[in-house]
Amino acid sequence: MRNMTEVDAIVIGAGPGGYHAAIRLGQLGKKVVCFDRDEVGGVCLNWGCIPTKALLHVGEVARHIREAGKIGLKVAAPEVDREGVAKFTESVVKANVGGVNQLFKANNVDFAYGEASFTGPKEVALKKRDGSTETYVAKDAVVIATGSAPVDVKAWPRDGETIINSDDAVQLKRIPKTMLVIGGGVIGLEFATVYTRMGAKVLVVEMMSQVLTGTDLEISKTMARILKKQGVEIALGTKLVSLEKTASGVKAVINGEFTNEKDETREFEVALVAVGRRPVTDNLNLAAAGLAVDERGFLAVDAQRKTVVDGIYAIGDVAGAPLLAHKAMKEGTVAAEAIAGDASSAYDPVAVPNCVYTDPEVATVGLSEEEAKAAGYELRIGKFPLLASGRARTMNESDGMIKLIGDAKTDLLLGMHIIAPQAESLIGEGVIALEMGATLEDIGLSIHPHPTLTESIMDAAEASHSKAIHVVNPKPKPVPVGAGAK
């Protein structure tokens, strides 16, 4: 007879989405067990969001020290203690993981290490680390929250030392003198920032004509300019023809706009492959549950994150783009409430914010200028450069901008785009404004504290109506007859 344990709900995966689902289920009185083959917190807490931001903070502090002379401080140049930085990063990760474990205990969530796979629609076998297997049966539901993993390119086989992915890069085993970053997306630019701050000479190769593909083009160009100013070399419209290991690292051949369409050979100590992530469902035996992924590897879900099989839910990266921790977190609570019988709980955001933790940061929410035009909107745009911000100047941080995209006919905010220190926090104002249906006039009329970076959002809104005080206003565009701001 098989060893079987009955619970109300099973959550497969203990990352941001999984632990949110498990904790919320516990709060709602459900007997829940959460599985993960790795550590509590998943990629985000252990190899992604948290440790990378710790490293970015270290790099930011190092930059401030190097630039201290600009604000009248005489400070010796920083020297990176690799082991000390690693110890700091590990302590941050340990504290966060420990916090989730405590929340599991406080909310009666059982956690078990192991490889989970379906043996039926609501039956899951857990192969434990000691080699034994235990079968769990869920009376109510199973939540799939197995996340994603870096895309591996067969032509450039990863060895974890010379050709690495983002999981390797966060370990900071060594600080190379030269680094090739393949991919100019979020992950590529964040690690380009980290390693540049640590003293590496970095080249980012991106096949597309802009970094952060899909981001507002003006924001993308501005960020690329700032990174180049900081010493990051960026090759746009350029492909990696070949990559081979050498005795001292790797030899790369690149070709494209950056090389005037000619092959150019460069050598680096390390190459980071940052070409995207893929959903992880490989070992789940989905067929036994009656499930199948689409051509991109995702599971189809409805507004409550239900799959096509009754009683099985999918959240986070396995449920489709955007592959973001905060999206997974919201989906986790929605799924948990739906399982507990809340028919009104649904995942229906107006927009999901996206943040890039470069230095300065990039944060966006809603439509870009290009997307809004493609959707047929007549636009009203407001911009405010950090160069005109008194608070930014006091911080010696005047490289960046705020850009608001509005509908000229209704004045409704359509999108907010920020390049600034703390952009990841500032963008919250845009999220609330979009969710509440705020107009540019609403934002401009709201008194913001002075001197702050957030008042630059107010200034950008005022600039959209040619009413800004701290910048020269653009000439107002004529408003269509019968339309305009409220």
Catalytic (active-site) positions: 450
Could you give the CA distance from residue 327 to residue 317 in angstroms, rounded to a whole number?
9
**Residue pair 178/204 in contact by the 8 Å Cβ criterion:** no
Tokens of 465: 């109506």
Could you give the CA distance from residue 443 to residue 413 in angstroms, rounded to a whole number?
9
Phi, psi dihedral angles at 2 (to 5 degrees): -70, 150
Supply angle C-alpha 126, 327, 346, rounded to 5.
Answer: 90
* Other Cβ atoms closer than 10 A to 304: 18
**SS3 label, residue 98:** helix
CA-atom Rg of the chain in angstroms: 24
Q: CA-CA-CA-CA torsion for 405, 409, 411, 417, nearest 10 degrees?
A: -10
Q: Output DSSP code: residue 346.
A: -
Alpha-carbon dihedral sign for residues 252, 257, 259, 262: positive
Query: 407: number of CA atoms within 13 Å, CB side?
Result: 18
**Residue pair 119/125 in contact by the 8 Å Cβ criterion:** yes
